[in-house]
Amino acid sequence: MFLWGLSWPSNKVLSHYCSVVNFTVYRYILVVATMMLVVMFLGAGFSIKKKGIPFFIVSGLLLALYSYLFFEGLINGSPGAGGVLVTTLNPIMAYTINIFIKRKLPNGNEAVGLVLGIAAGCILLQLWDSSSSLMHSGNLYFLLAALTWAVMSKFTAQGARFGSSITFSLWQYMVTLLCLLPLADFAEMRAAIHIRESAFWLNLFFGSAIVTTMATTIYFYTTTRLGAEKASSFIFLVPLAAAVSSWLLLGEQIHAHTAVGGALGMIAVYFINKRKPVVIDIAGE
């Protein structure tokens, strides 16, 4: 979660070197390469059950869409505020989707959490300004990215049913790369090879090998063990890291609405995951 938070200012730096699509393609080329090494090192194997093919294809398509929206938001918005927005709304949206799928109304704590989550999103988006400013800002990309991630989490949570979750993630990343590769500017890609600035290569390696290959794959593994909803609840740790690292590394100001919205989001996740007290019947009735 903390690595995810650090990825926001890191990716903001990378966005100055190339287009959004090319940036994402570079990232997933390195991700697939490093994931293959991880799979071979762990001896997980590359095979997966046939029933799992539709799941990693759909999750790969959604990850490609999320990646595009993610970087468009970074270019048109601010990484600190965007980090708070996406990571706060992810668990709220995941839980809401689960309610519709299971057709089960939320209990008292869950209802309070969802209301607080909606309030957090409104504050983070500054809806009191004007709807037009929302439509023309990076906030809209972040909002769509959060929804895409929540839906994708439902598919990745099924990964363990079809083999190793690490192998499932590898195939998912391959689909994502294949979706984005035809959109890349190959002339720009050839020019990128000659970039000599260390900031480009260090941030590219960090975003690929550390943030995606390691941190994101661990998250996908967690969804197979805990479920998409509980796994996503840990994302409440990300906004603080995103806002603080953007302030330290990029000098981005932490606005009051970002802090208040992020705090409300954290409280919302707490209520959603708060367990009911266990009542023990001593009489055994």
Q: Which residues have CB under 8 Å from 68's CB, separation 6+?
A: 20, 21, 24, 180
Local confidence pLDDT in tens for the 285 residues of the chain: 788 878 777 877 887 887 778 888 888 999 999 999 988 988 878 888 888 899 999 999 999 998 888 777 767 766 556 666 777 777 778 877 887 887 777 777 777 877 887 787 778 767 666 554 555 566 788 888 888 988 998 888 887 788 888 888 899 999 999 999 988 888 888 888 888 888 888 888 988 888 888 888 888 888 887 777 777 777 777 776 777 777 777 777 777 877 887 788 778 778 877 766 544 444 444
Residues of the domain holding 123: 2-273
Q: What is the torsion angle, in degrees rounded to the nearest 10, for the CA atoms of residue 141, residue 142, residue 144 and residue 147? A: 170
Q: Residue 285 domain-assigned?
A: no
Q: Which amino acid is at 134?
A: L
Rounded to two decimals, the pTM is 0.76
How many structural domains is the chain composed of? 1
Phi/psi region, residue 44 (left: phi>0; alpha: psi -120 to 50; beta: rest), is alpha
Q: Residue 282 domain-assigned?
A: no
What is the reported pLDDT for 175?
Answer: 95
State both tokens at 165: 């979750």
Please state the φ and ψ torsions of residue 45, each to the nearest 5 degrees: 85, 160
Q: Residue 131 domain-assigned?
A: yes
Q: Residue 224 domain-assigned?
A: yes
Q: Residue 281 domain-assigned?
A: no
DSSP state of 275: P
Q: Residue 280 domain-assigned?
A: no
What is the reported pLDDT for 285?
Answer: 46
DSSP string, 154-181: HHHTTGGGGS-HHHHHHHHHHHHHHHHG
Q: Residue 52 domain-assigned?
A: yes
What is the reported pLDDT for 282?
Answer: 46
**Residue with token string 């090494």:** 37
